[in-house]
Chain A
Amino acid sequence: AQTVTQSQPEMSVQEAETVTLSCTYDTSESDYYLFWYKQPPSRQMILVIRQEAYKQQNATENRFSVNFQKAAKSFSLKISDSQLGDAAMYFCAYPRIIHSQGGSEKLVFGKGTKLTVNP
């Protein structure tokens, strides 16, 4: 069964510092996608970054980057130069395909990591 594990329920970081959130997953697929979603206290979930498993290069979006280790099934998120607005719940997610047609996916979420940014 595909599972996603986030082993850090809570993390804190000082403003302007760097923090890494961990995620491991389990899948038997060889080609897949992985996501990090952010849910701030206002509750609207937004995509932070997406990684395609067949791409060896780690995805980067401005201050956010991932360390994708396919063999180890590890997908950690690094936030550089942390800002107060980065405070949120961060969910690692894996889209499990239920049917072969598009739009038939189930996002399997980890339990989340609550990130606090200290001024």
Chain B
Amino acid sequence: DTEVTQTPKHLVMGMTNKKSLKCEQHMGHRAMYWYKQKAKKPPELMFVYSYEKLSINESVPSRFSPECPNSSLLNLHLHALQPEDSALYLCASSQAVVGDEQFFGPGTRLTVL
């Protein structure tokens, strides 16, 4: 299984809603990543978990809250988002080895009204 899955595929939420994005991999990878991608732009790193511990936080606003319940799962909890947070949210995973390939999921298309 060389797949990273993400749910939901699409999400529409109001600025007062609380929602969560989910990412799962069963490749035995110990590093997992959240990226935000705006249209026609490269992905921007948000968070990295390494061995279930938060390793990198790219100064992301607190309305985004990551969680890594176990080595296969990664969540991104969303609360009080702004319309400018509308984007494609990509999850990725890799072996926690320098220079290893990152495997990306298909993404969740988020729209904040």
Contacts and interface: CB of A to CB of B under 8 A. Distances in A.
Contact of B41 (A99, A102, A106, A111): A111
Main secondary structure of the interface of B (DSSP, over half): loop
Contact of B105 (A32, A44, A105, A110): A44
Interface of B: 30-31, 40-43, 45, 48-51, 55-56, 58, 88, 90, 92, 94-107
Interface of A: 32-33, 35, 42-47, 50, 52, 91, 95, 97-99, 101-107, 109-112
Contact of B95 (A101, A102, A111, A112): A102
A33 B55 CA distance: 20
Contacts of A35: 101
Nearest to B51: A103
Nearest to A104: B55
A35 B43 CA distance: 14
Most B-side CB within 10 Å, residue of A47, A95, A102? A102
Given A104-B31, A104-B50, A105-B48, 19 more contacts: A43-B88, A45-B43, A45-B90, A47-B101, A47-B103, A50-B99, A95-B98, A97-B98, A98-B56, A99-B55, A103-B49, A103-B50, A103-B55, A103-B96, A103-B97, A106-B45, A107-B45, A107-B102, A112-B42
A106 B56 CA distance: 8
A50 B94 CA distance: 14
Contacts of B95: 102-103
A103 B106 contact: no
A28 to B, nearest CB: 16
A43 B106 CA distance: 6
A-B CB proximity, top 7 nearest: A103-B31, A103-B96, A103-B50, A109-B42, A33-B99, A45-B104, A102-B96
Contacts of A99: 55-56
Contacts of B49: 103
B59 to A, nearest CB: 12
12 contacts: A33-B98, A43-B106, A43-B107, A99-B56, A102-B31, A102-B50, A102-B95, A103-B48, A103-B49, A104-B56, A105-B99, A110-B42
